[in-house]
Structure 1
């Protein structure tokens, strides 16, 4: 198929599919649909953030202290691998029932997590949960973009962003409550399963049904199977060695080299398929040369995903492992992050809708977030709690000004027919950044921790050091003297401090690159 014919076919199909889902609603119906989207997104982020409190307890039960971080990484990797499909699934099939299918997948595998009998089952089940979370994140944002105009999206996407913050707040508290009341992390997942199923029934009731007027055979023929396969291979074969390189195995290990080579080759094949083969590509490469502002807005998501998901996972680590705070107190500290995030998201959404411009919100968000990251360098084993709280508030304000407003900005820089795939591409890059960020962060943390232990100057025996090398995410301090415990907490802090520097670099890239974004108002390219 020639390049011109392929592009023409893709454009025609994409326009037909996009138009079939256009469904601007009255205020009454809009409130009902929006309530359903907010509920689904909130539950998704409750599921994603509750595990940050549960990880040490999971690791202790399964005797997997050195690998339990994969429970979080596996979820993000599968989210990333499958999310590239959801933009096109949303176009080809019913938005409503793809969303419901994602919620059912999440509910079933949350239950499976509660029933897991070893760490490997848990990793697999959390991976399937990631598929459900990916569908929910993509489809809620896509459905909202179908039912409101671009001029209104700042306001409504800002409210959705607040649901992300509220979900991030509720997740750790729910986890803490179940740990405190029942002493078992499994009960949280037993609770989540029926709750999500009930919410999916609400979605079936509230959300209108839209679908393109084409046969099932035609729908199945348009799926980019080759692109999905090679993107999945690339994501997994690159992230697995990055996560363990330098800590669990040497970078010169033949397995590490083989995985990286396979991953890079698969990535190259994926790009060729998207450009030359797929009639309806999952990630149309033309998005990246439509205009440079859209390219920058999309690529920024990779870097802020690295920092955002790292924040969610490593802030609880700081409070529990370094500062010896209980799970309840840790959840209270996290409110200083997520409440400003929710509040700022709503305010910035209103600012965008009322002014018709987004660039000042983007500049504010990245500036605020970078300042908050720089303040993390002040954190230590005995840092004043006031300094910690101020750092969290500033970080939360920056996140709230970026998480949803950048999506509105990306849609203003794209064509209407591409809105679903722009949302999925943006979410894919953010999740890919998150998965890569957790993998790189785990490697930085473990290497810093291990190198600090090597300089303990005889404080630990050789046997103790061998055991402690694998006790990165949880350890029983009862067997150690006060002096040894103090040194261990310093080792955790040393590893974390290196992760903080890494985040500062990510946010610096985002802030500097945002300077060249051109804001021409809330008009899609169709209107220019």
Structure 2
């Protein structure tokens, strides 16, 4: 008995020693990248980060208005939603890696690599000849976008103190909004006058130029380790199990109920494999990984931090849903052209950019973030609820006001919650906090898009089944495959056209109800968040560290 106790104590001691060594290495890695710059150098580097983030969001949002045209050209009316889902799956899968990867290697060269991946596969999208080629290429674009989104925010966190970070992250958030604004407008201009393919041809040289700008302007930081030491510190097991879990969970969630039955052996086996892999990932991160990609202590250090991180999953469901389904409303239900739909989206993205800058200033000047976050969730929740006023004949006020509220809510949440999360964690975790936060947001976005796609397809199919007196059975079967197409109504009677528009709108409203529940959870959960100022845990008093 005594020998067993001694062995248990020895193992516990060894585990604690290993954990302490891991924390020391994490501190060393994080400190090697800390590089507070002079005002002049800061503005130069910050400008390069802003350009990179802007380019990433132009790419992410441009496809939203192009989907009906791409679907028609590639004969993918029934599967085109996978273009968005594939991108988000790969983004989520690799975002798990980027935070710790950038700690171990150079932030600068990981960012350059991601920009090059984005540029090359944007070009490949322009050459895609089949839907499956497009989905694969968009998946690789998702890897590049995930890296750019994470690394720009990590580098800004390296070069700016936490007290000033609200201001700069707020400005960075405004470039997210500007990218969201310009992406659809650029894509619709290419669609109207050239081709959606030409848009992706254009993105290639711009991506190469952005990588060159980063190479010349951003300082090079790295830990003083040999390549062998760096490779030994990568959490290979964690990345493997997280990747399997994400892929095997999101694929059936994306296709269940539409492409295959929820009770099919394929769906069940995928979900089981994904669930087991997810549990293995948590075990590896907790017990095995020397430098876990997502330290699980982020979710146990403070209730406020846990809540701030988990909120990202639910607002990711809404945020990415807005990006893809607002254009759907304008183009499919309101019958707007791509350019007119893009102009209407300015009512969403311009308030987002403006609010992001204002809220960043408020956080830096007051030293607190809680009021900004409360405002964001209240405005966003109200805006989503008002989407129920939308319809084929809704006046412009009923359309624009919800967009403005949603945009201002996103602007007050997107970057301010990042500053809040970093204020609730240790300095050494600043990169992994960003990684965890972005992973949860992207994972929520992927799940949200998958659920929304299933809701749209099933609701549309159910509504069509009620149109037996207006359409033949063969016509109904054909229409079910047109759920994501900008269907020409010229060949239909007035009653048939009105029925189809109502089918699209009623399907979309079911998605709005789903968003209401998601964003309301974020609003209610914000009650437990405690604002203790803009200091990382390392610099807070013992009393504040426990709250």
How far apart are residue 248 of structure 1 and its match? 2.2
Distance in 2 separating the partners of 1:425 and 1:281: 11
TM-score by length of 1: 0.99
> How far does the alpha carbon of each residue in 1:38-61 deviate from its partner, in whole angstroms, 9 at most, with x for none?
000000000000000111111111
Matched, 1:192 2:229: no
2:144 aligned with 1:132, yes or no?
yes
Q: Secondary structure at the match of 1:471?
A: coil
1:424 to 426, 435, 440: 435
SS at match of 1:23: coil
User: What's 2:47 paired with?
Assistant: 35
| Structure 2: gaps spanning 5 or more residues | 1-10, 541-547
Q: Deviations over 1:20-51 (max 9, x none)?
A: 00100000000000000000000000000000
Match of 2:516 in 1: 504
1:419 partner SS: helix
- The reply to whether residue 520 of structure 1 matches residue 527 of structure 2 is no
**1:514 positional shift:** 0.5
Flag structure 1 segments of 5+ consecutive residues without an equivalent: none
| Residue 450 to residue 210, structure 1, CA distance change in 2 (3 Å) | same
Separation (CA, whole Å) in 1 of partners of 2:191 and 2:98? 34
Q: Which among 405, 410, 423 is matched to residue 412 of structure 1?
A: 423
Q: Give 1:77-96 correspondences, 5 Å limit.
A: 77-96=89-108
Equivalent residue number for residue 478 of structure 2: 467
Q: 1:255-404 to 2 correspondence within 5 Å?
A: 255-404=266-415
Alignment of 1:223-238 (within 5 A): 223-238=234-249
The DSSP-based 3-state class of the residue aligned with 1:515 is helix
The residue correspondences of 1:245-256 to structure 2 (distance < 5 A) are 245-256=256-267
Alpha-carbon distance, 1:338 to partner: 0.0
Distance 1:13 1:476 in 2: 61
Q: What is aligned with 2:59?
A: 47
Residue 448 (structure 1) aligns with: 459
SS at match of 2:296: coil
Q: What is aligned with 1:486?
A: 498
C-alpha distance after superposition, 1:109-150 (max 9, x if no partner): 000000111000000000000000011000000000000100
Task: Give the TM-score taking structure 2 as reference length.
Answer: 0.95
Measured against aligned partners, the alpha-carbon deviations of 1:167-222 in whole angstroms (never above 9, x if no partner) come to: 0000000001101111x110000000001111111111110000000000111111
- Alignment length, in residue pairs? 527
- 2:127 pairs, out of 102, 115, 130, with 115
Question: In the alignment, which residue of structure 1 is the partner of 2:6?
Answer: none
C-alpha RMSD of matched pairs (Å): 0.9
Alignment equivalent of 2:153, drawn from 126, 141, 148: 141
From 169, 174, 184, the equivalent of 2:181 is: 169
CA distance in 2, matches of 1:313, 1:201: 31
2:325 aligned counterpart, secondary structure: helix
Which residue of structure 1 lines up, in the alignment, with residue 489 of structure 2? 477
Q: Give the Cα separation in 1 of the matches to 2:235 and 2:490.
A: 54
Deviation for aligned residue 1:253: 1.3
1:202-217 to 2 correspondence within 5 Å? 202-217=213-228
Aligned-residue offset at 1:5: 2.5
Deviation at 1:492, TM superposition (A): 0.8
What CA deviation, in whole Å up to 9, does each residue of 1:396-418 have, x standing for no partner?
Answer: 00000000000000000000000
SS in 2 for 1:522: coil
Q: Deviations over 1:326-372 (max 9, x none)?
A: 11110010000000000000000000000000000000000000000
1:180 to 182, 188, 192: 192
- How far does the alpha carbon of each residue in 1:68-116 deviate from its partner, in whole angstroms, 9 at most, with x for none? 0100110011000001100011100110010000000000000000011
CA distance in structure 2 between the aligned counterparts of 1:226 and 1:41, rounded to whole angstroms: 30
CA distance in 2 between partners of 1:6 and 1:139 (Å): 28
Offset of residue 456 of structure 1:
1.1
Once the two structures are overlaid, the 10-residue window that deviates more, 482-491 or 105-114, is 482-491
Deviates more, 1:222-231 or 1:353-362: 222-231
Larger radius of gyration between Structure 1 and Structure 2: 2
Cα shift readout 1:208-254 (whole Å, capped 9, x = no counterpart): 00000000011111111111111111111111111122222221111
Q: Whole-Å Cα distance in 2 between the matches of residues 476 and 276 of structure 1?
A: 58
- Please point out which of 151, 154, 163 is paired with 1:151: 163
- TM superposition shift of 1:478: 3.5
Cα shift at 1:482: 2.8
1:486, distance to aligned residue in structure 2 (A): 1.6
Deviation at 1:457, TM superposition (A): 3.4
The residue aligned with 2:543 is none
